[in-house]
């Protein structure tokens, strides 16, 4: 029976903006409309709010000695970190390292650098979707300058050992360590010591689409990708969208302040879904380990086409992903799940359910009932 209310379980793709964040955005847009680079007092007031937002972000993440560069989201932050660092540090070495399950905004950026003459090593992941720490040590060469490893995978929720990797990399002063933190912030704790650059997107934490940051250690030198008026410490020219920047800081504060209680709630939802999946081993294979991250539950259908099931769920007002939103219009299999289990059939038929604190147990109960009913109908 179709539900009348939308059940949104695609929060890893993007999350609904928090009303408080949207209110801030509107108020700031109306009050601080001057250009933060203008020297008149309205411009200077805007600039003070901009600088306060930067300070607040660093304080929330307990970071000092860092710069915050506001961007349009994580794709831009990842591009600036990787290309910016590679171009600025080419005289120090030519070798870059990453993992097979990175988001396309990291993988494709590094592949582009490879086309331009850099050497790229893409490391495999284990069956849990995690990078093995010693594979990083073995891949490091004399000419390695940059390593990029995501903290939490956007398709499976797998958590990488960022602390341990950071400890290895810090022994090599020439190498910068970049971490894509998009699916991590406000969800699971990942220690940031020894991380030189990190990317975050506002829209994954109930902030606004079009907001994001690259945070980098002050000592890290980047080449800007945009040239112009020299805003953002000459790293991202263009008039700063103050209302987006300040509301990003607000979304971050709300996400971090409520992280513990949200985690507990989301865990109860994930547990319900996992129990349902485990009770039906003839139909589903669970791809996520979910032990430490309940926000993303990824599973494969053993006998059915994921795209058909996702469409049927959508017709019943339940929104989930068959692949991550970033490549669901291109490739038709999950390279992330394939990298874990090397089973093309399962990689073709993955479903990702991604939660937010706004979801309820009733919604997950409805999801499981509808899944059972759809699969029965398809059989008939």
Interface ranges with ligand PLP (CB under 6 A): 73-75, 103, 105, 150, 154, 180, 182-183, 201, 212, 326
Catalytic (active site) residue 326? yes
Q: How many CB atoms lie within 10 A of CB 179?
A: 26
Between 284 and 357, name the residue whose CB sits nearer to ligand PLP: 357
Q: Which is nearer to ligand PLP, 78 or 262 (CB)?
A: 78
User: CB of residue 135 vs ligand PLP: minimum separation in angstroms?
Assistant: 20
Q: Which residue number, 113 or 201, has a Cβ lying nearer to ligand PLP?
A: 201
Q: Phi and psi of 158, rounded to 5°?
A: -60, 135
DSSP state letter for 279? T
Q: How far apart are CA 346 and CA 288, in angstroms?
A: 13
Q: Which of 190, 153, 205 is nearest to 357 (CA)?
A: 205
| Of 215, 216, 205, residue with least CA distance to 183 | 205
Nearer to ligand PLP, 169 or 201 (CB): 201
**Shortest approach of ligand PLP to residue 304 CB, angstroms?**
25
- Distances in whole angstroms, Cα of residue 1 to Cα of each of 72, 293, 316, 318, 360: 40, 31, 7, 12, 19
By beta carbon distance, the residue nearest ligand PLP is 73
CB of 202 to ligand PLP, least distance (A): 8
Least Å from the CB of residue 158 to ligand PLP? 11
Rounded to whole angstroms, how far apart are CA atoms 374 and 361? Answer: 20
Nearest to ligand PLP of 105, 293 (CB atom): 105
CB of 190 to ligand PLP, least distance (A): 13
Give the closest residue to 82 by CA, choosing from 212, 178, 226, 175: 178
Nearest to 347 by CA among 367, 332, 329: 332
CB of 160 to ligand PLP, least distance (A): 11
Q: Tell me the angle at which helices 74-88 and 104-115 cross, rounded to the nearest 10 degrees.
A: 30
- Helix residue ranges per DSSP H, the chain: 19-31, 41-60, 74-88, 104-115, 133-139, 162-169, 231-234, 242-257, 259-278, 306-315, 335-341, 344-348, 361-379
Query: Which one from 42, 58, 88, 326 is the annotated catalytic residue?
Result: 326
Nearer to ligand PLP, 47 or 241 (CB): 241
Q: Of the candidates 303, 321, 318, which has an alpha carbon nearest to the alpha carbon of residue 379?
A: 303
What amino acid positions are annotated as catalytic residues?
326
């Amino acid at each position: 029976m179709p539900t009348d209310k939308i059940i949104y379980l695609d929060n890893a793709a993007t999350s609904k903006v928090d009303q408080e964040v949207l209110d801030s955005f509107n108020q700031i847009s109306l009050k601080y409309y001057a250009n933060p680079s203008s020297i008149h007092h309205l411009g200077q007031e805007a600039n003070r709010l901009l600088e306060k937002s930067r300070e607040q972000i660093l304080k929330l993440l307990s970071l000092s000695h860092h710069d915050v560069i506001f961007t349009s989201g994580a794709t831009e932050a990842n591009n600036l970190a990787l290309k910016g660092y590679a171009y600025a540090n080419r005289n120090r070495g030519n070798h870059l390292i990453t993992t097979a399950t990175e988001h396309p905004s990291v993988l494709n950026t590094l592949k582009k650098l490879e086309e331009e003459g850099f050497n790229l090593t893409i490391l495999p992941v284990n069956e849990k979707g995690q990078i093995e720490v010693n594979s990083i040590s073995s891949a490091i060469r004399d000419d390695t300058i940059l390593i990029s490893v995501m903290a939490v995978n956007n398709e499976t929720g797998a958590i990488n050992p960022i602390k341990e990797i950071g400890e290895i990399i810090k022994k090599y002063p020439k190498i910068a360590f970049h971490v894509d933190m998009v699916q991590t912030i406000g969800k699971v704790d990942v220690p940031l010591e020894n991380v030189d650059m990190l990317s975050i997107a506002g829209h994954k934490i109930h902030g606004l689409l079009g907001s994001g940051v690259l945070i980098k250690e002050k000592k890290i030198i980047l080449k800007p990708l945009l040239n112009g008026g020299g805003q953002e410490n000459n790293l991202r020219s263009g008039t700063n969208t103050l209302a987006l920047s300040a509301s990003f800081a607000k979304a971050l504060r709300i996400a971090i302040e409520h992280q513990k209680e949200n985690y507990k709630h989301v865990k109860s939802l994930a547990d319900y879904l996992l129990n349902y999946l485990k009770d039906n081993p003839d139909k589903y294979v669970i791809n996520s380990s979910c032990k430490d991250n309940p926000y993303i539950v990824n599973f494969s259908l053993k006998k059915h086409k994921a795209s058909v099931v996702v469409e049927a769920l959508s017709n019943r007002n339940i929104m989930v992903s068959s692949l991550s939103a970033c490549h669901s219009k291109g490739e038709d299999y999950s390279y992330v799940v394939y990298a874990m289990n090397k089973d093309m059939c399962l990689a073709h038929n993955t479903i990702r359910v991604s939660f937010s604190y706004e979801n309820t147990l009733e919604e997950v109960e409805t999801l499981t009932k509808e899944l059972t009913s759809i699969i029965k109908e398809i059989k008939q």
